[in-house]
A = this chain, B = another copy of it.
Amino acid sequence: MRVTIADVAREARVSKTTVSRVINTKSDVDRTTAARVRAVIAELGYVPSSGAVGLARGSSRTVGMLVPSLTWPWMGEVLQGVVDTVEAAGYGLLLFTCNRGADSVERFTSQVSARAFDGLLVVEPENTLDTIIGLHRKGLPVVLIDDRGQHPEDFPSVVTTNHEGGASAARHLLAGGRSKPLVITGPAHFGCVRDRLAGFVEVLPAEHVVVGEFTEASGRSAIERIIAEGADFDSVFAQNDVSAAGALRALRAAGRTVPDDIAVVGFDDIPMARHTEPPLTTVGQPTRAMGETAARMLLGHLGGTPAPDEPVVLRTDLVVRESAP
């Protein structure tokens, strides 16, 4: 049978109130009484029921996290950062991915109403931003981990320096003597895509820009198309590593040598980047730090610190490998 606060109270010959006070280390408990209660707690192996505590206190000491997918290359790092931070604070992490359409979004929002968690971290799944904003308006603390650069105003979020990241890629290529870049972007409606491109072309104007889809296939076909067109280019800036990997493959298939003929720079620095042939120079995103920072912001908010209304900006960093030395 479960050990309850009543058992502890009886055994220690005090009231449940006093036991509660000891557990929650309130002042105003006699030192020897407190010691006796603690001894009984240890002896009985008592642990407060999280459900009961949550009900009585009106909070669950649990944080929710909503993500579009768990298999994206950088998601593991973000999650790890979140879990580490949340666990260290004594909170639990409830994980959701609503990838079954409207139905599952609804299921998710009902968990919110059920008060299953006190606050929410979100990497936005496609078409859920309105829902998220709605929940936030209704009082749910939310922090957005913004991988797309399209957070609404005044919304607590962590972002990275996409513009500067693009610029750093351009500076690196320029310093390496490249002047005719091909840019393979991601989907055009993402803010990060616009920012990375803007940062890049400010430093190094690009005659060739192909809109990709952040997929290997789109990276590959961008190269195939541009080569078929007979375009003249000496370098590639792919806006994520996955499409950069596709580009590397297509270049090799076309008989172009990387980096001698064509230098290639990616974006993200996912684990795969060090295993491509040749290893990929890329603009690294601090994925783990993004998770940690977002979690800290949310926990802070739950603890009473007002969330910053400006997005928190984390730095990207160029990682130089063989594809663009």
Contacts and interface: CB of A to CB of B under 8 A. Distances in A.
B104 A87 contact: yes
A60 interface: yes
Contacts of A104: 87
Interface residues of A, number: 54
Contacts of A45: 113
Interface string A85-99: 001101011111111
B50 A111 contact: yes
Contact of A115 (B50, B249, B271, B277): B50
Contact of A277 (B50, B77, B79, B277): B277
Contacts of A76: 70-72, 75-76
A47 B271 contact: no
As for how many copies of this chain the complex holds, the number is: 2
Interface string A8-34: 000000000000000000000000000
A84 B50 CA distance: 25
A271 B50 contact: no
A80 interface: yes
Contacts of A94: 62, 92-95
A137 interface: no
A131 interface: no
B51 A113 contact: no
A187 interface: no
Interface string A33-58: 00000000000010111111011000
A95 B97 contact: no
A97 B276 CA distance: 30
Contacts of A276: 275-277
Given A275-B275, A276-B275, A276-B277, A51 B95 contact: no
15 contacts: A49-B55, A49-B115, A51-B54, A55-B55, A70-B76, A71-B76, A72-B76, A73-B271, A75-B76, A83-B95, A87-B97, A92-B111, A93-B95, A94-B95, A95-B95
Report, nearest first, the 6 A-B pairs whose CB atoms are least far apart: A277-B277, A47-B113, A50-B114, A71-B76, A51-B54, A70-B80
Interface of A: 2, 45, 47-52, 54-55, 60, 62, 69-73, 75-77, 79-80, 83-84, 87-88, 90, 92-100, 104, 107, 110-111, 113-116, 216, 245, 249, 252, 271-272, 274-277
